[in-house]
Structure 1
Amino acid sequence: MIDKIVVDNFKCFDEMKLEMTTLNVFAGINSMGKSSAIQPLLLLRQSFEMNSLTKGVHLNGPWINIGTGYDFLNRNANEDYVKFAMTADGKEYYWKYDYDKKSDYQSIKETNAKGKELENINLFKPNFSYISADRIGPKRFYEQSFHQIYEMNQVGINGELFADYLAERGMTDRVTNKYALHKTAASDLLIYQTEAWLSEISPGIKLSSKKYQETGIVGMEYNVANDKFSPLNVGFGLSYVAPIVVSLLKAREGDLLILENPEAHLHPKGQRMMGELIARVASGRVQIIVETHSDHILNGIRLAVKNKIISRLNVRLNYFYQELTDDLAIGKRMVHKKMSPAILEDGRLSYWPEGFFDEWDKALEELL
């Protein structure tokens, strides 16, 4: 498990240190650094798969696209280098990169990351998963990929392979995380567990998929109240959340899962239940990083702590914000920082930072 992430001179961060635990929530208003805190992990994973982890970092590839060195380096950096450090399973690894403004490849200046021991870190294991905020919308047909489904165990960065995953593995794979099992599901098979959790969002959902081998596509149908509908006719919510649910349920102990905006297109009850599901999966020792703008996701996690579904010690909140700082070298400027209020045993927070999911209270004050 990743215990700490440190970045220097990367994008909006002069320096950022993140203590990590099992369930890590990244929150804050737009452009405060939430995505930038996740991107070092994606860049390291990308370079690992492109066989350059000890040589340099590829800024553009299958997992993430940053641009060039100009987009990579913090604009206020005093020195032309970017450094990533990560503590995993008690050992620290670091990568320090030279700066090439025009290139999308930044060479290693210094690193201690060598040998096959890196393969034991969850970030570099085959079961690592990342579902981006830019997920695929409702489609009549979805893609197929034997390599991604079986060899990489993926549903696609944009969720584009979730239908194929269910078609291939839904009736064979079992949900092994006992904390994530839905009590109303017919069995622990992945397809039934997926249907049960989706029914928390839209009651009575059943899924059926059909592969068209000759054209390399997968059809998906939703059965609602004993009537069949194509994904085009059940709204965006189910199509956006289904890859998230499948990724959570297929995760096993020791895996790392990064989720961006799992609340997208969900009504408040669905968002709260998504927060609970995320907490349940994390209780099975799956490390999760979730970036969210939803107070309902947060409340689902807080209630999971109160109801003893997950220990408060296994949840870490990170609130990203900006603060005006007087820099002796360049004068006053905004610096990106973070706070980490703790969830208490009863679900309350140790303190409530200004701007941290407080719009409800502010609106209520204006209304009254």
Structure 2
Amino acid sequence: MFTQLRLTQFKAWKDTGPVALKPVTMLLGTNSSGKSTLIQSLLLLKQTVQSPDRTVHLNLGGDEVNDLFNFGGFEDVLNQAAESPRQFSIGFDFHGKESDRVKSGQFDCTYGQTSSGSVAIQTLDLRTASRRFRAIRRDKGAFSIMVDEETQPRFKGRNYAPERSIAFSVDAIADLNQDGPIVEDLSLAIRRELEAISYLGPLRRKPERDYPWNKTKPGEVGIDGRSAIDALLASALLKGEGQNDIVNGVSYWLERMKVADSLEVRQQGRSNRYELIVHRDGVACNLRDVGIGVSQVLPVLVVAYFAPAGSTIVLEEPEIHLHPLAQSVLAELFVTISQQRKVQFIVETHSEHLFRRMQTLIAKRQVQTSEAAMYFVERERGLAKLRELDLDEYGRVKNWPSGFFGDALGETREQARLVFERQQAAKS
């Protein structure tokens, strides 16, 4: 689980400072304020560690099949008001599983631009609770390797350039001798945390009337939820422990949201094609024939159960096309699944109903303030600014930003005033 995020001179952010990430973290704010950038920084590292080229320092994208985002070039990532040195940085802290060899660690990496225009690591800083390893760029692409708080490098050379942002080179690991396995385990732990991110974007595929199934389980749900149906089919049709767990879990939350009573996978004759049947009020309909909200929330519900325990689920606008009650139930989903499956949720949302229900869950003590963090992102003089919403034990916000969700009480007062004035005018 990611426990802290730090960005400097990264797109809209001059300096986020340390951003605490909890089991459930919600990002609120105006459009184009910088919320998505916080999410994209982790996804940039994820697509970097998954790059087939191990010598790459930072994979800014361009492969429409394998990459999550195309970030453009160095100048597109660097904050437009960046001060010298013209560099940006990404950092995070994490806690692994109890069974992991590295229980916790810290990653910090600073990037600059070479004379040829490519992105190159300037400083890579990896830490455990008691150890520190740094790779620092010198002249002509050579790197110095430093351990703990040593002031002199143990060795330096171009063959010590880091790989995929998070790993020391094979030569560096070998020359570190007994310290080599430690930094290797730390890099592996960081890689696992990044690879365990499941990301679902705000634009999801429309449903089909039927689907083929190749009798296998998909590797991931996909950025647009393209494999959510495959995950449901695998859950229903693959024999063994856990069969129907995802289908039953999705059905439960659809019923809680009052958009369906249950979900059923139905084979079409003897073919290998299947349809998803939505049951509601005694009527069975093909997924294609029900409201778009059901198909759009399906990937959200599926990934909550499909993502491995201990992983991080990143969601953008999970509430799209849902009515207010269904939006609010999403808060219950995040809290419940996070507690049951030890899954972390980082959610970017515009939904007041989702946020208000989270306040209620805190007031009901179904989630502690130590388990949930909520941030408001806004623009100030062209730069993104982060405000952590200070909630008390009753879910009340002590530092609420004015005007974001509107003024419901003010609207009610204005309506009451107009009713009174029109009634008085009618009597005269």
Q: State TM-score, norm by structure 2.
A: 0.72
**Deviates further, 351-360 or 231-240:** 351-360
| Number of the residue aligned with 1:319 | 376
The equivalent residue for 1:88 is: 94
Aligned to 1:71: 76
1:83-162 → structure 2 map (5 Å cutoff): 83-89=89-95, 90-99=104-113, 106-112=119-125, 113-114=166-167, 115-121=184-190, 124=193, 126-142=195-211, 149-150=217-218, 152=219, 154-162=220-228
1:257–1:286 CA contact under 8 A, matched in 2 = yes
Alignment-mate amino acid for residue 89 of structure 2: K
- Asked whether the equivalents of residues 222 and 231 of structure 1 are also in contact (C-alpha less than 8 Å), the reply is yes
State yes or no: 1:307 paired with 2:364: yes
1:37-48 alignment, distance < 5 Å: 37-48=38-49
Task: Indicate how the Cα distance of structure 1 residues 281 and 343 shifts in structure 2: closer, same or farther if over 3 A, else same.
Answer: farther
Compare CA radii of gyration and give the structure with the larger one: 2
More deviation in 310-319 or 133-142?
133-142
1:155-199 CA-partner distances (Å, limit 9, x unpaired): 111111111101112465877xxxxxxxxxxx9822112111112
Paired residues of 2:49 and 2:191 also in contact (CA < 8 A) = no
* Structure 2 counterpart of 1:10: 10
Query: For the residues of structure 2 that align with 1:173 and 1:236, how far apart are their CA atoms?
Result: 32
1:286 to 2:343 alignment: yes
> One-letter code of the match for 1:95?
C
Q: For residue 168 of structure 1, what is the aligned residue in structure 2?
A: 234
Per-residue Cα deviation, 1:33-76 (whole angstroms, up to 9, x for no partner): 00011111000000001156774111114222222223111111
Between the aligned partners of 1:64 and 1:212, the Cα distance in structure 2 is: 40
Give the secondary structure class of the aligned counterpart of 2:234.
helix
What per-residue deviation string (whole Å, max 9, x for no partner) do you get for residues 95-144 of structure 1?
221236996x6222221343242333486365431111111123224576
What residue in structure 2 maps to residue 357 of structure 1? 405
Query: What is the TM-score normalised by the length of structure 1?
Result: 0.83
**1:259–1:291 CA contact under 8 A, matched in 2:** yes
The verdict on how the C-alpha distance between 1:213 and 1:23 changes in structure 2, with shifts beyond 3 A counting, is farther
> For the structure 1 residues 93 and 126, does the alpha-carbon distance in structure 2 shift closer, same or farther, using more than 3 Å as the test?
closer
Q: Secondary structure at the match of 1:199?
A: helix
Equivalent residue letter for 1:64: F
Q: Which moved more, 1:281-290 or 1:19-28?
A: 281-290
C-alpha contact (below 8 Å) 1:283/1:309 kept by paired residues: no
Alpha-carbon distance in 2 for matches of 1:239, 1:24: 24
Describe the SS at the equivalent of 1:57: coil
Work out whether residues 144 and 161 of structure 1, in 8 Å CA contact, stay in contact via their aligned partners in 2.
no
Range that drifts further, 302-311 or 217-226: 217-226
Unaligned runs of 5+ in 1: 176-186, 325-333
Instruction: Summarize the Cα distance change of 1:303–1:63 in structure 2 as closer, same or farther, 3 Å threshold.
Output: same
Q: Which residue of 2 aligns with 1:184?
A: none
Q: Which residue number corresponds to residue 328 of structure 1?
A: none
Aligned to 1:24: 25
Name the amino acid aligned to 2:32. S
| Secondary structure at the counterpart of residue 350 of structure 2 | coil
C-alpha spacing 1:160/1:286, structure 2 compared with 1 (3 Å): same
Deviation string, structure 1 residues 301-323 (Cα, Å, up to 9, x no partner): 22222222221111111100122
Which whole-Å deviations, capped at 9, do the CAs of 1:326-346 have from their partners, x for residues lacking one? xxxxxxxx3211111133222
Task: Count matched residues.
Answer: 343
Query: Which whole-Å CA distance do the structure 2 matches of 1:123 and 1:211 have between them?
Result: 39
Tell me the residue number matched to 1:36: 37
Gaps of 5+ in 2: 96-103, 126-165, 168-183, 418-428
**Corresponding residue for residue 206 of structure 1:** 263
Does structure 1 retain, via aligned residues, the 8 Å contact 2:221–2:303?
Answer: yes
For 1:20, the aligned partner's letter is: L
Q: Which residue pairs with 1:178 in the alignment?
A: none
What is the aligned-residue identity percentage? 24
Q: Distance in 2 between matches of 1:52 and 1:296?
A: 44
CA contact (8 A) 1:68 1:102 kept: no
1:32 deviation in Å? 0.5
CA root-mean-square deviation:
3.0
Distance 1:129 1:12, change over 3 A: same
For 1:203 and 1:32, the matched residues in 2 are separated by 35
Counterpart of 1:347, as a letter, is G
Does the aligned pair in 1 maintain the 2:378–2:385 contact within 8 Å? yes
> Which aligned pairs between 1:215-294 and structure 2 lie closer than 5 A?
219-284=275-340, 285-294=342-351
Partners of 1:83 and 1:94 within 8 A in 2: yes
